[in-house]
Amino acid sequence: MATVAAVIENIRQELSDEYNTRWNNAQLIRFISQAVNRAQHVGRRNNLQFLKDKADLVFAPGEFSKPLPDGFLTDIGLWDLKTKAKVSKASEEEWEGSASPQEASQYMLEGSNLVIQSVPASEITLRLRYFKGCDLDTLKQDGAEMPWGGLLDEMILEYASLRARKIDRDESSADLELLKDIENNILSTYGTQSVRVVKGKGWMG
């Protein structure tokens, strides 16, 4: 898996800027962050497998809240590993209107936590499947690694390099075309791994 620093070095080679005379690291990280941010939303919108993850949440008796996993973007579903039943995601109206819900029969996301209703009388394990994104601030840290095991490193590198060239040539209006190109590359490479691929409207849709 490549580090962000290694990707920046490769971008500089693409731009013939090995001596850091045109672009500083903060500018190139911004281009990388733009590509990562758009990639994670394309992946979620099109149900791409590389963006999916799971976490088993163990609730002790009386416990009703667990912090969401690192990198959590949005939930796919929650299942009780013992009964194999899917736990229903409740709206605010359903949650507040439940007079006497069955144990761990509903869940909601509240801030950075997952909460269940009602509290279990004995230990239960619930499996959360979710889309995993990237905390863009982590890309700025020393020794930071590229997200998703490096699957999109080449596409991100290509976008960042082209973005820099377009700015140098004052062609900012062509940014939408670049975004569409990288989206098409992601879908053509990883779309076949998905159970169901939903055609989106593009980066800006």
**pLDDT at position 192:** 53
Q: 80-87, long-range: CB within 8 Å, 24+ apart, which pairs?
A: 80/104, 80/124, 80/125, 80/126, 81/56, 81/125, 81/126, 81/127, 82/124, 82/125, 87/116, 87/126
- Which residue type is seen at 11? I
- pLDDT, tens digit, 9 for 90 and up, residues 160-199: 888 888 877 755 555 566 666 677 777 766 765 554 434 4
**pLDDT at position 175:** 59
Average pLDDT over residues 86-113: 85
The total number of residues written for the chain in this structure? 205
In the predicted structure, residue 33 carries a pLDDT above the cut 80: yes
Between CA 189 and CA 186, with CA 69 as vertex, the angle to 5 degrees is: 10
In the predicted structure, residue 79 carries a pLDDT above the cut 50: yes
pTM for the whole thing?
Answer: 0.74
In the predicted structure, residue 21 carries a pLDDT above the cut 70: yes
- Tell me what percent of the residues of the chain surpass a pLDDT of 90: 45
**Cα 160 from Cα 178, distance rounded (Å):** 10
**Cα 155 from Cα 151, distance rounded (Å):** 9
**pLDDT at position 78:** 96
Answer with the residue of higher pLDDT: 175 or 141. Answer: 141
- pLDDT, tens digit, 9 for 90 and up, residues 114-123: 999 877 888 9
Between CA 11 and CA 15, with CA 14 as vertex, the angle to 5 degrees is: 90
In the predicted structure, residue 95 carries a pLDDT above the cut 70: yes
Q: Band of the pLDDT at 93, cuts 50, 70, 90?
A: confident
Q: Is 103 exposed, middle or buried (0-12, 13-18, 19+ CB in 10 A)?
A: middle
In the predicted structure, residue 202 carries a pLDDT above the cut 60: no
Angle, to 10 degrees, between the axis of helix 25-45 and the axis of helix 4-14?
A: 110
**Cα 120 from Cα 95, distance rounded (Å):** 16
